[in-house]
Amino acid sequence: MDWFLIGLAALLVLYIFAKKRTDKNVPLINSPIVIAHRGSSGACPENTYSAFDQAVEAGAEMIELDIQLSKDGELMVIHDRLLDRTTNGQGNVADYTRDELLQLDAGAWFDAKFSEEKIPVLQEVLERYNGKIGFLIEVKYPQDQPGIGTKLRTTLQNFLETKEGNHPLIVQSFDDAFLRDFNKMMSNIQLGLLIRKQLSLKEVEHFSTHISYLNPKYTVVTPGFIKIIHKHGMKCFVWTVRSKRIKEIIQKMNVDGIATDYPEWYK
């Protein structure tokens, strides 16, 4: 009888711990999780439906994608400020309306067989992959895009009303000021801060007050730094794995997620 009561007590402790981890959004199930960086961008043009479809097919838990505002205030999925590298357009993304951006070819630069690809609209991406995969949304250049946080809040509020499945939804940026402001807008959304260098203990403590994920470039990751991140109650997504040598190194560390151009490597 005593052993039975001890077992019940242990289960209760585990249940309480699990509940504490679900205060924002959805907890991660697998660790490390595989994050398709701009979709499966090693096999398809980045930030396109082909890349996102391939990521789902490869079994990735999340797709990472980048957003910017069009001239008329629509959230478009594209990485660079300029259109030149990944489309047949020229100039700044912000100088084109949604409809003008949708006329561009966003795939032929990678391979002629992708010439029908268009720049996706964030809302349509969320709808298309709802219930199929998680989303890691990177906000690009927020300091130069007034109103992008408000537009993102509206888009995510609408999405959460119809969200299906147990898939995480995380917003990240290199801009901590934006993340602090967005946390005030949507305190129920988990946030990630992208970093390119190791931080001091004081900096880690500061970010832990509003950040759920501290996401470093693979070149600055060490087991000790990951331990510090975890000690302060945050998780760690490492970016961006593009070689199998780096893949083997990172997999030996206690990271929570790995962003890669090749999610199929982890099947």
Task: Give me the active site residues, please.
Answer: 37, 79
Q: Which two tokens stand for residue 187?
A: 């305190």
Sequence-distant (6+) residues with CB within 8 A of 37 are: 64, 239, 240, 259, 260, 261
Sequence-distant (6+) residues with CB within 8 A of 169 are: 25, 26, 134, 135, 137, 156, 159, 160, 163, 189, 190
Q: Determine the Cα–Cα distance for residues 159 and 105; give it in Å rounded to an integer.
A: 27
Q: Determine the Cα–Cα distance for residues 229 and 213; give it in Å rounded to an integer.
A: 9
Report, in angstroms and rounded to the nearest whole number, the Rg of the chain calculated over CA atoms.
19
